[in-house]
């Protein structure tokens, strides 16, 4: 007589879902710039992107500022090994702020979620000595295009303040360390949207 072996699942050996996530709203939306796993599309309410620079960086990057009327697209990703200290070091110019009550996502559980922001008083508006980088904008737009399509790219521009900032045209010799190569169509999309906003390009 053939015996049928019955197996019971050992739920104690199943990995628990990560309990610590962060919300990315700039270059981290481009998955080619990092190795974070299990990222998910998400939306953050109550914050708006803005171009800012700090004394520890010679160029401007994106941060977020509180705005109760705003909502922005982005990605959430688990913090590797829940090691906030390592992520805090990567985001050295930023403060980590709890945002789990403001993030909409498709996860079945409700993890801790933080967003990184440069606090008021620690940043300034970009200028010719601290411009935004076209190579950085290329990376961000490529990420939003892949994740959210052209409509998502336009939302990115519409929900970001500070486009009066000068932009260094470093595409031929990128300054941004995690720069990516864009297709001709992607470059045209970036250039057209910058032109729509009359963004001033500085020669590289």
Q: The tokens of 160 are what?
A: 């970001």
Pairing outcome for strands 20-24 and 112-117: parallel
Among 200, 185, 202, residue whose Cα is nearest residue 142: 185
pLDDT recorded at residue 198:
97
Q: What is the band of 169 on the pLDDT scale with cuts at 50, 70, 90?
A: very high
Question: For the whole model, what pTM was predicted?
Answer: 0.88
Task: Report how far residue 76's alpha carbon sits from residue 88's, in angstroms, rounded to the nearest whole number.
Answer: 16
Question: Is the model's pLDDT at 6 over the cut of 50?
Answer: no
Query: Between 91 and 162, whose confidence is greater?
Result: 162
Residue 72's pLDDT band (cuts 50, 70, 90): very high
- E strands, the chain, are 20-24, 40-52, 61-78, 95-98, 103-105, 112-117, 132-133, 160-161, 167-169, 201-203
Say if CB 160 and CB 123 are below 8 A apart.
Answer: no
Q: Tell me, what's the pLDDT at 14?
A: 55
Mean pLDDT of the chain: 90
The pLDDT of 114-137, averaged and rounded, is 92
Q: Is 155 exposed, middle or buried (0-12, 13-18, 19+ CB in 10 A)?
A: middle
**Residue 7 scores a pLDDT above 60:** no
Closest CA to 138 of 163, 117, 167, 116: 167
Contact 75, 28 (CB under 8 A): yes
Least confident residue range of 4-13, 14-23, 112-121, 189-198? 4-13
At residue 15, φ and ψ (nearest 5 deg) are -70, 130
Percent of the chain with pLDDT strictly greater than 70 = 92
* pLDDT tens-place string over residues 151-165: 999 999 999 999 999
Residue identified by tokens 């303040």 is 161
Give the whole-number percent of the chain exceeding pLDDT 90. Answer: 72
Rounded CA-CA distance 128/31 in Å is 30
- Range of lowest pLDDT (9-13, 60-64, 145-149): 9-13
Token pair, residue 58, equals 């010679």
pLDDT digits (tens, 9 = 90+) for 21-30: 999 999 999 9
Q: What is the pLDDT of residue 1?
A: 38
Checking if the pLDDT of 100 tops 50, the result is yes
């Amino acid at each position: 007589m053939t015996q049928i072996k019955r197996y019971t699942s050992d739920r104690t050996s199943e990995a628990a879902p990560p309990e610590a996530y962060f919300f990315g709203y700039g270059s981290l939306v481009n998955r080619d710039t990092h190795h974070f796993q299990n990222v998910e599309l998400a939306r953050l309410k109550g914050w708006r992107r803005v171009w800012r620079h700090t004394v520890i960086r010679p160029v401007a990057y994106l941060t977020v500022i509180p705005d109760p009327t705003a909502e922005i697209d982005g990605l959430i990703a688990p913090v590797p090994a829940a090691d906030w200290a390592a992520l805090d070091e990567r985001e050295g110019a930023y403060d980590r702020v709890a945002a789990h009550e403001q993030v909409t996502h498709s996860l079945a559980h409700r993890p801790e979620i933080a967003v990184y922001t440069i606090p008021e008083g620690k940043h300034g508006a970009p200028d010719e000595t601290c411009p935004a980088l076209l190579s950085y904008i290329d990376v961000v737009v490529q990420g939003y295009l892949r994740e959210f399509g052209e409509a998502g790219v336009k939302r990115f521009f519409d929900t970001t303040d500070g486009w009066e900032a000068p932009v260094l045209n470093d595409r031929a010799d990128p300054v941004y360390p995690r720069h990516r190569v864009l297709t001709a169509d992607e470059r045209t999309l970036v250039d057209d949207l910058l032109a729509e906003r009359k963004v001033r390009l500085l020669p590289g």
